[in-house]
Chains A and B, each alone.
Chain A
Amino acid sequence: MATTDTEVNELIKREYEYGFVTDIESDTFEPGLNEDVIARLSGLKKEPEWMLEWRLKAYRRWLEMDEPDWAHVGYPKIDYNSISYYSAPKRPEDMPQSLDEVDPELLKTYEKLGIPLHEREKLAGVAVDAVFDSVSVATTFKEPLAKAGVIFCSISEAIQDYPELVKKYLGSVVPAGDNFFAGLNSAVFSDGTFVYVPKGVRCPMELSTYFRINAANTGQFERTLIIAEDSSYVSYLEGCTAPMRDENQLHAAVVELVALDDAQIKYSTVQNWYPGDEEGKGGIFNFVTKRGAAIGKNSKISWTQVETGSAVTWKYPSCVLRGENSVGEFYSVALTNNYQQADTGTKMIHLGKNTSSTIISKGISAGKSSNAYRGLVKFGPGAEGARNFTQCDSLLIGDRCGAHTFPYIESKNKSAIVEHEATTSKVSDEQMFLCRQRGIEPEQAVSMIVNGFCKEVFKELPMEFAVEAGKLLEVSLEGSVG
């Protein structure tokens, strides 16, 4: 009996697996935001004058903007002056060049997360630009990438080393005045990833960044910029976990993708930030602006996302299809449990001739959560022969959750064709009966059915992510059945 009790207690105690705080001294700013803070941040990163100007301009725009309130989410008002806008691991000046030089504390953190860097390096052939809080601390596989001519570095480095590229493309897809959170990010972005794939190059490996939010009270403002030159190809993976916190943490990232003629960018995300506890306390606010510009002819941008974490998600990875024959894709699984709220979807803006886009969105709501798909498909007058197919399905688990669909469809071209369909249903009693009859536990059965429901999206994920995603759903659904 004793063992069973211990086991039960263990199980009860098991909450967010990745909830822990790494004990590393941080170089953190006092909370508050003003022009001085931005100047200090920029100075600390030794940024050139034009970058500071750019940030300040964005900040002044941001001051005039209103926080959006149209999303189907509710959260307490954020005091942007109670947030600290910079936090870096100690000793920023002596960055480790290889894993051996990395602080063992950090390595332990990664181990707890199940990402043994050195193993991953060799076995998976994945270069990891790991972002711990805000400054890149470990970059691997730089050499083979350099040989191919691919630039893969932190955005801070890129500002120093490749100012022309950054100047040309930063803010070209998501301008600072685009929306409230993008404006904030433009003013205070701390670090992020920069990828440049030159003409005709197929990036030899999947690029990947692991984000971690660590020090308490620190907003994380990542900035990612990926440029794919003519006839190039790159696949980028992004994954997130965060330690447990009682106070809400704000995350406002901006991701910009630029695809030129015949280029292809594949961007995959697995997002597993702390969603808050069962009472809906704590959790990350995830307000992200992601947009890709398919500028070139025959270019292609593909977003794949698996969203299981965050207390509040506000995220619409979008494609602006400007080039002739360009293609946009959006594959998404969004799972919410307990008191999580998600308002996510995509925008497909068709401007060029014969552009086409596909949207497959799967929403799963459990517990008392709310999950909304919000999408826009727009055909401009020049979108001759453009085509869109949209399918958004929702699955409800439990009778106290909500699933919503808000698709906006606008067409100004007669030869453009759009098809949209959506369904909402629950895990059917028949399916459950079939599984139960064969001796499968209810929780496992639901997990199986949900996995089947999401299969269309999972098959778009790179292998290692697909496995992780399946597991993530299982963990996230724990306790939602029975």
Chain B
Amino acid sequence: MKPAPTLSTAFLHPAGQSLPEPLLALRKQRGTALVDMPLPTRKTENWKYSSKYLKLTDDMAISLPAEGKTGSSLAVPGYKVAFLNGVMMPEACEYPDLDGISIKSFGDLSDDEASDLADRLDSTLDNKAVQMARLNSARFEDGLLIRLKPDAVLDQPLFIVHEVTAEASGSAFPRIFVDAGRHSQITLVEEYISSGSAQVMVNTVTEFNVAEGANITSVRLNMEGENVQHIGSTGVLQQRSSRFESHTVGFGGPLRRHDLQVRLEGEGAECKLNGVVVTQGKQHYDNHTTIEHVAAHCNSEETYRNIAADQSHAVFNGRIHIHQDAQKSNADMNNKNLLLSNGAEIDTKPELEIYADDVKCAHGATIGQLDEISLFYLVSRGIGRREANVLLTMAFINELVEQIPIEAVRETVQGRLNHFFEQAFQEA
């Protein structure tokens, strides 16, 4: 048997030595553990459908230079933080000093703060299930630490723009850690964009530590170019009566992977996860979500919709795990998929793993095409076939797009979706 491919040692050399000592030490330690790390293959269960899209060449191992200009596609009111190739750009950031809220680059942390953070990085993620996130821990050059004191409320959404400039091959490793104190509130938007056309990889990790009663809304927009392989991991740890709401909107690419792991550790915690994915051409997108009901009386609700056109490939894997003591759990997962062309492929796997008896769990999944009868209804009323197609496809995902709580984001998404529809339904 052929030995499984391992991560090239070229990837084990982090750049950027300006981090505080405890973080450098952590990075080094994580890096050592990655020597001979097997890369996912078709036989790796959680990469079954996506491993063939992962193409890491040695020239992609170097870190992209952290210089140049940034520009967000979101011209919106709100607070802003800009990352360029994984490093924070203070001159492009706009946020005031707020009472009870600290927004800091990892590089600006004191040794005490950094050592506290080093103890907590990766704590929200199940590292076995997100192999590739370990690479971020070994390579991050900077990051954003957001701390909310108890009862602190961020009055406007915080936009974090992650841009990569792909002038030459390389990688970027952006990282965010949010520490939300008791009853604090924040709305956070992560936007991933790119310029240039060289082959690059973006490997991101975002972590949310959600204390009792805190309320977090997270929006993630993935709009990078056709030359960017994106591997993102998000970990969420929720305490008693906290609430986490996530909206992800993703456009396909050569490799797009997002792992979202939520652990409901305190009673009465709840989460709501929404996701929309559209792929076209030869694009790929893979969403993997895990919701762990560890404590009793928690609720989770998950809705993902995928649309795949042309020869593209969309994957959804949702897992709900109810632990033995998580009685009175409510979990609901729903995944609907639309295949627009015969060359496209959709794979979905909604899993339930249940060890408690007094629970209500349900999941549903469908794959299909637009309903002929609905199409006929519209066409018979004088609407062109193409428009009818667009209307119905739009309706399929609009339910989720409309739930995004920020108007400017909705508009950006809508614009991109219109562009997608124009291409997907060229001559119908």
Interface residue ranges, A against B (CB under 8 Å): 70, 379, 381, 394, 396-426
Contacts and interface: CB of A to CB of B under 8 A. Distances in A.
A416 B360 CA distance: 30
Interface string B30-72: 0000000000000001000000000000000000000000000
Given A409-B347, A417-B367, A396 B354 contact: yes
Interface string B348-370: 11111111111111111111110
Interface string B314-343: 000000000010010000000001011111
Given A396-B356, A409-B347, A409-B349, 6 more contacts: A399-B324, A408-B347, A412-B343, A416-B368, A418-B368, A419-B366
Contact of A423 (B324, B356, B362): B362
A403 B359 CA distance: 11
Interface in B112-144: none
A410 B346 contact: yes
Contacts of B352: 394, 403-405, 422, 424
A399 B358 contact: yes
B226 interface: no
B404 interface: no
Interface residues of B, number: 35
B369 to A, nearest CB: 5
Interface in B136-192: none
Interface centre among B349, B357, B364, B369 (most CB of A within 10 A): B357
A307 to B, nearest CB: 19
20 contacts: A396-B357, A399-B327, A399-B357, A403-B354, A407-B350, A408-B349, A409-B349, A410-B348, A411-B347, A411-B367, A413-B339, A413-B342, A415-B342, A420-B350, A422-B350, A424-B352, A424-B354, A425-B361, A426-B358, A426-B359
Contact of A405 (B340, B351, B355, B366): B351
A113 to B, nearest CB: 34
A421 B363 contact: yes
Contact of B364 (A394, A413, A417, A420): A420
Contacts of B366: 417-420
Nearest to B334: A421
Contact of A407 (B360, B361, B365): B365
B360 A417 contact: no
Contact of A412 (B345, B350, B365): B345
A409 B363 CA distance: 13
B344 interface: yes
B324 A400 contact: yes
Given A405-B363, A419-B366, A426 B353 contact: no
Contacts of B340: 414
B342 A418 contact: no
A418 B345 CA distance: 13
Nearest to A405: B352
Contact of B369 (A396, A403, A417, A419): A417
Contacts of A426: 357-359
A405 B364 CA distance: 11
A419 B366 CA distance: 4
Given A400-B324, A417-B368, A410 B345 contact: yes
Nearest to A366: B357
A379 B344 CA distance: 12
Contacts of B345: 410-412
Given A381-B342, A402-B353, A411-B346, A420 B365 contact: yes
Contacts of A405: 350-352, 363
A413 B339 CA distance: 7
Mostly helix, strand, loop or mixed at chain B's interface? strand
B344 to A, nearest CB: 7
A404 B351 contact: yes
B349 A406 contact: yes
Contacts of A408: 347, 349
Given A404-B353, A406-B351, A425 B360 contact: yes
Contacts of B365: 407, 409, 418-421
A423 B361 CA distance: 6
Nearest to B339: A414
Contacts of A424: 352, 354, 359-362
Contacts of A400: 324
Nearest to B329: A424
The 9 closest A-B pairs by CB, nearest first: A396-B357, A414-B339, A417-B368, A405-B352, A426-B357, A424-B361, A420-B365, A411-B367, A421-B364
A70 B43 CA distance: 10
B372 to A, nearest CB: 10
Interface string B366-386: 111100000000000000000
Nearest to B345: A412
B329 to A, nearest CB: 10
Contacts of A394: 352, 354
Contacts of B349: 406-409
Interface in B360-416: 360-369
Nearest to B48: A408
B347 A398 contact: no
Interface centre among B324, B341, B352, B355 (most CB of A within 10 A): B352
Contacts of A420: 350, 363-366
A362 B365 CA distance: 18
A212 B257 CA distance: 50
Contacts of B358: 399, 426
B294 to A, nearest CB: 15
A421 B334 CA distance: 9
B342 A402 contact: no
B362 A421 contact: yes
A402 B369 contact: no
A411 B352 CA distance: 21
Contacts of A397: 357
Given A394-B354, A418-B367, A420-B365, A409 B348 contact: yes
Given A70-B45, A404-B352, A405-B351, A412 B342 contact: yes
Contacts of A398: 357
A247 B278 CA distance: 54
Contacts of A425: 359-361
A313 to B, nearest CB: 18
Nearest to B348: A409
A401 B324 CA distance: 9
B278 to A, nearest CB: 15
A458 to B, nearest CB: 23
A422 B360 CA distance: 11
Contacts of A409: 346-349, 365, 367
Nearest to A403: B354
B356 A399 contact: yes
A411 B340 CA distance: 11
B357 A401 contact: yes
B367 A416 contact: yes
Contacts of A414: 339-342, 344, 369
Contacts of B367: 379, 409, 411, 416-418
B290 to A, nearest CB: 13
Contact of A415 (B327, B343, B362, B369): B369
Nearest to A406: B351
Nearest to A378: B347
Contacts of B324: 399-400
Contacts of B355: 401-402
A425 B354 CA distance: 10
B181 to A, nearest CB: 34
B396 to A, nearest CB: 14
A220 B364 CA distance: 39
Interface centre among A394, A408, A414, A417 (most CB of B within 10 A): A414
B424 to A, nearest CB: 12
Nearest to A372: B353
Contacts of A403: 352, 354
A399 B349 CA distance: 26
A415 B340 CA distance: 9
